[in-house]
Structures are given as structure tokens and as C-alpha cells.
Structure 1
Amino acid sequence: MRPMRLIEPSPGTYSLLLDAGTTDVDDVVEELGHEPHGYFWEGVARVLVGTEAPTLEGRFSYDPEGSMFCAYGTDRDALAELAARMSAVATDPERIRQVIALAPATGVEFDD
């Protein structure tokens, strides 16, 4: 699940975290004109949910910051599925290129 972390900050409440600027694809993200901060990764999550995992829609909320991506909620399984999908993108230069290219067609604009 690297570089994602799924934690339980309080009983029954879960947070999915990614420290911005720590992924294997940061250079590719910057090469493609984006900044790999928490808001960018929210855009990645939204593309993935919208195109690959629509059953995750509405099962958690987003709360990114400049230095961190965060999704949270009470549905651990949904967050674990998002973690697996995002980990695959955050460690594979070709996958991040695909997600970035797909974003405009899904209505996602990266917050740069």
C-alpha cells in the first residue's frame, strides 16, 4: 500500500493519508505541468473513483492540504480500495500519465 497509509485515529473512523512530495512519480507529475501536493492527489482520487471505481462515490470525504492528501470516513473497506488504486498510480510513471491525460474527460481539474 506504499506510499498510502490507512489509520484509525478514533474507533470506527479511518483516514487515508499520503505525504505529498514523497511518491515515485513526483518528477513525472512536475514534468506534466502539475504540482504533486495534496490537492493534486485529490484530483487523482476523483479520476480513479469516477472511471474505475464508481461504487466508491460518496463513501468517504476528502480533506487534502498542501503537504498531504487525506480521505476519511467510517467505511474502511472503501478507503482500503482507494488506497490500493492510488498506490498503483503513485508508484507507476505510466499509470500517472494515464490518469493525468484522462482527467479532462472526467471533468477533474487539478488544483495547481
Structure 2
Amino acid sequence: MDGLVEELGHEPNGYFWEGTARFLVSTEAQGLEGRFSYDPEGGMFCAYGQDRSALEELGALLASVAADGDRMRKLVTSAEAAGFDFDD
């Protein structure tokens, strides 16, 4: 997936995945908003909190994007069209 992320003009780092998570939450899973925190670094992405079910739901959302190149392309295209900054 790193090659595809780079092809789409982004760095496949923790900040990109935080942006991906934030965009997914804002567009597909608004009920997760505020239920965990983010703490990415250049080489890793981390979400943490006490709400295990929220973290599991976020994990499933991210896995669905990470496993599907077409879904990743659509997500990045939609985010950029909306003016979203991945901050990577």
C-alpha cells in the first residue's frame, strides 16, 4: 500500500494514517468522534483510549482502506476534493 499512497502524492507515514483515520471518522463514522485520541509519528500511527469498541471500529475502518487500493484511491480523491489536509 505504501507505493499506492506515494503514487497518490502522499507520504505513507503515521501522519498520513492519522489523516486517513480523521477523514474516515468525519465522513463514515461520526459516532467515533472524541472517543479516542491520536498520537502519530513519522514511522507509526497510534490511536489510544479507554473505549475498546471505538478503537476496534477504527481498526476495522482503517483495515478496509489498507486492504483495498480502489478504496484508498477514492478516499484520497474525496478528501482532496473536500480540501482535507492529510498533514503528511
Shorter-chain-normalised TM-score: which range? over 0.9
Give the TM-score normalised by structure 1: 0.75
Is the 1:46–1:108 contact (alpha carbons within 8 Å) kept by the matching residues of 2?
no
- 2:56 maps to which of 80, 85, 101: 80
Q: CA deviation at 1:102?
A: 1.5
Give the TM-score normalised by structure 2: 0.94
Between the aligned partners of 1:108 and 1:61, the Cα distance in structure 2 is 19
Between the aligned partners of 1:108 and 1:80, the Cα distance in structure 2 is 24
Tell me the equivalent position of 1:53.
29
Residues 1:69 and 2:52 aligned together: no
Q: What RMSD over aligned residues (CA atoms) do the two structures have, in Å?
A: 0.9
Structure 2 unaligned residues grouped into runs of 5+:
none
Mark the structure with the bigger radius of gyration: 1
Letter in 2 for 1:87: A
Q: Which has the higher strand share?
A: 1
Between the aligned partners of 1:62 and 1:98, the Cα distance in structure 2 is 23
Between the aligned partners of 1:72 and 1:56, the Cα distance in structure 2 is 12
Between the aligned partners of 2:75 and 2:33, the Cα distance in structure 1 is 17
